[in-house]
Amino acid sequence: MKTVVMKFGGTSVATPEKIIGVAKRAIREKEKGHRVVIVVSAMGKTTDTLLGLANEISVDPPKREMDMLLATGEQVTISLLAMAFKALGHEALSFTGWQAGIETESVPRNARIEQIHTERLERVLENGYFCVVAGFQGVDKIGNITTLGRGGSDTTAVALAAALNADACEIYTDVDGVYTSDPRYVTGARKLDQISYDEMLELANLGAGVLHPRAVEFAKNNQVPLSVRASYSDEPGTTIQEVVTVEKNLIVRGVAFEPGIARVTVIYKEAFNGSLANIFTKLAENHIDVDIIVQSITDEFPPSVSFSIKEDSLEETRRVLNDNQESIGFVSANYEVGLSKVSIVGSGMVSNPGVAAQMFDILRKEGIPVKMVSTSEIKVSVVVPETEMNKSANALHNAYGLSE
């Protein structure tokens, strides 16, 4: 008997009507003879409403209490979904994170799952019940409710699939799979039938939004057979697994892009030691995510370092740099906004060293200036003007033969 974990996000359970729809979808799965676990998020805007309440009380609420508050969101959904199963004539039991045995570190708002005690779920599945589990939450060793941070429900689904040794972990969402690029902006973008964990990891990190990188990483480490599917259809979606039957032997498998990038350039008076660490430590302390870092030290120009951040953390970055100019030890800083990041991803790159050069050539022919570059084994990212983002993505998508 196969075990299937199905995960539905906030928009898929936003109303009682949609919750009944989710129950019907899961019943179809069970009627194939599978044991079914369903992981759900909080309904639609619930989390925003709860955050609003907290903000009326405190500008800086204690994290433990935020977890206590936010965890009620999924608890509402699981109870309603279990009621829906019963109303449709099926047996189901709902479980909060702690009831499902999801043990985490004691790190409020961003806990990692340490282990899952599956005894109770196993027993309930054995009795032919649906198990409805609250995503995004767990419990630490001394019994505090914790939440898993961004992408938490995806992570819960994957971790449960690993712990239950499930045959499939299906992430239901509002798109029908993983695409070679965003079809809203790139002509000819098409759905991939398969993709490797590493490729998905890069795409997820690059803002391809359908699946949280943490969940992908967990799936990779535990070899969980993962898929991304549409909640509105029975189409198979995209399978994410270790070995991919490469279609057409393509080196590049997807093109991702992201607007709203800013570049910061910090100029030092003379060659420096340790101050690079200073600057990035200060930014990290202030929870500013730095993406690409480019450093140049030549004899002709004063030494400098450039890095990219999200545009919406620009003000905070400016503040941190100004407040710490002395300790960081820089002379001046300048800021450029209106940029975007465009990336190509594909496992095949490892054995094809010319990919980056080829990418720059494609962009050069289109007259697109490249402001920054970053490479990994299976990815090349460039920073280009935001006005050139779509053009860059389309050009790369075509040039690498991804369009149909």
What is the binding site for a second copy (CB under 8 A)?
Answer: 16-17, 19-20, 50, 53-54, 56-59, 61-62, 64-66, 68-69, 71-72, 75-76, 78-80, 82-84, 86-87, 93-94, 96, 98-99, 120, 142-145
Between 1 and 142, name the residue whose CB sits nearer to a second copy: 142
User: Tokens 């599956």 label which residue?
Assistant: 118
Could you list the beta-strand ranges (E) of 9-139. Answer: 35-40, 92-95, 102-104, 113-116, 130-134, 137-139
Output the smallest distance, CB 81 to a second copy, in A: 8
Instruction: For residues 279 and 357, give the distance between their C-alpha atoms in angstroms, rounded to a whole number.
Output: 31
Instruction: For residues 315 and 337, give the distance between their C-alpha atoms in angstroms, rounded to a whole number.
Output: 12
Output the smallest distance, CB 138 to a second copy, in A: 14
Output the smallest distance, CB 147 to a second copy, in A: 12
Instruction: For residues 204 and 172, give the distance between their C-alpha atoms in angstroms, rounded to a whole number.
Output: 16
Q: Is the dihedral of CA 220, 221, 226, 228 positive or negative?
A: negative
- Both tokens of 135, joined, read 């995503």
Cα radius of gyration rounded to whole Å, the chain: 23
Residue 394: count of CB within 10 angstroms of its CB: 19
Output the smallest distance, CB 84 to a second copy, in A: 5
362 CB-near residues (< 8 Å, 6+ apart): 395, 396, 399
Between 75 and 392, name the residue whose CB sits nearer to a second copy: 75
Between 94 and 324, name the residue whose CB sits nearer to a second copy: 94
Between 84 and 208, name the residue whose CB sits nearer to a second copy: 84
Between 45 and 365, name the residue whose CB sits nearer to a second copy: 45
Output the smallest distance, CB 149 to a second copy, in A: 17
DSSP SS3 for 289: coil
- Both tokens of 75, joined, read 């608890």
Instruction: For residues 155 and 213, give the distance between their C-alpha atoms in angstroms, rounded to a whole number.
Output: 9
Residue 145 dihedral angles phi and psi, to the nearest 5° = -75, 135
Instruction: For residues 275 and 328, give the distance between their C-alpha atoms in angstroms, rounded to a whole number.
Output: 6
Output the smallest distance, CB 91 to a second copy, in A: 9
Output the smallest distance, CB 130 to a second copy, in A: 12
- 1 near 34, Cβ under 8 Å? yes
Between 115 and 221, name the residue whose CB sits nearer to a second copy: 115
DSSP SS3 for 95: strand
Phi-psi region of 209 (alpha: psi -120 to 50; beta: other; left: phi over 0): left
Output the smallest distance, CB 7 to a second copy, in A: 19
Between 11 and 398, name the residue whose CB sits nearer to a second copy: 11
Residue 147: count of CB within 10 angstroms of its CB: 26
Output the smallest distance, CB 283 to a second copy, in A: 27
Between 50 and 370, name the residue whose CB sits nearer to a second copy: 50
Between 23 and 384, name the residue whose CB sits nearer to a second copy: 23
- Both tokens of 326, joined, read 């002395």
